[in-house]
A and B are shown apart, each in its own frame.
Chain A
Amino acid sequence: AQSVTQLGSHVSVSEGALVLLRCNYSSSVPPYLFWYVQYPNQGLQLLLKYTSAATLVKGINGFEAEFKKSETSFHLTKPSAHMSDAAEYFCAVSAKYGNKLVFGAGTILRVKS
C-alpha cells in the first residue's frame, strides 16, 4: 500500500524567496512520485514526476524535486518564488504505471509581495 504525507498545510514565502514543499511517502514497492499543482477553480496540472531514472527531477515553471530513498522523501523546491506560484500543491505516489494515484492532503502556497 502507498501513502503520502505533506508536512505543512500552508506555506507562506516572500516573492523571490526559496520555495520548499515537503513530501514523504510510504510504499511497499519502488514508487513513482508526482507533484501536481491546482490553481483556484481549476483542475490538477502535472508539475513533475519521478520514474526511477534521475533522482533530481526538473519540472515546469522552474520547479524541481529530489527523490531520496533513504529519507523516503520527494520535496519540491523552486529557487525564487513568483506571485503566480500561489496555488495548492499535491504530492502523489503510484505503485506502477496504470495504477491509481494516492494523494497527500495538499499544501497551499502563499506568496507575499
Chain B
Amino acid sequence: EPEVTQTPSHQVTQMGQEVILRCVPISNHLYFYWYRQILGQKVEFLVSFYNNEISEKSEIFDDQFSVERPDGSNFTLKIRSTKLEDSAMYFCATAKLAGGSTDTQYFGPGTRLTVL
C-alpha cells in the first residue's frame, strides 16, 4: 500500500539554523499539508498546498516558514531560523482530489525536530 514518507526521522539543530524537512507524497495525490505536534499538545495545522501554491496557512506559519515542491515529487517545509519553540514532531499529509467527496489525508510518520 502506498505510503507518505518523511526524512529525516529526527533532526537536531542549533537555534538560528535553517532546517528543511522533506516529504514524499503518495504518487497520485495533489493536496499537501504540514502539521506539527508539540510534545503533549494537539496536532496543529500549519499549511496546505495545492497546484503549486499555498491554499491556506495558520497563524503559526509566519515568514520563517516556507513550503515548496522543488522537483515535482518532494514536498518540503523550510524553517529559516529555528527557535526553541519550533521543537516538535512535524507531520506531512497528502490527499487526492476525489470529485465532490472528501479526501482522506494520509499522514507520514513524522520528523522529530529538536532545537537546542
Contacts and interface: CB of A to CB of B under 8 A. Distances in A.
Interface residues of B, number: 30
Given A42-B109, A44-B107, A103-B43, A97 B48 contact: no
Nearest to A100: B45
B91 interface: yes
A57 B50 CA distance: 29
Given A32-B102, A97-B98, A100-B48, A45 B33 contact: no
Given A36-B107, A94-B102, A98-B31, A44 B43 contact: yes
Given A98-B48, A103-B43, A45 B107 contact: yes
A49 interface: yes
Nearest to B100: A97
Nearest to A4: B42
A104 B102 contact: no
Contact of B43 (A42, A90, A96): A90
Contacts of A44: 43, 91, 93, 107
A57 B35 CA distance: 26
A51 B102 contact: yes
B101 to A, nearest CB: 6
Given A43-B110, A98-B31, A99-B56, 5 more contacts: A43-B4, A43-B91, A46-B105, A98-B50, A99-B48
Interface of A: 32, 34, 36, 42-46, 49, 51, 90, 92, 94, 96-106
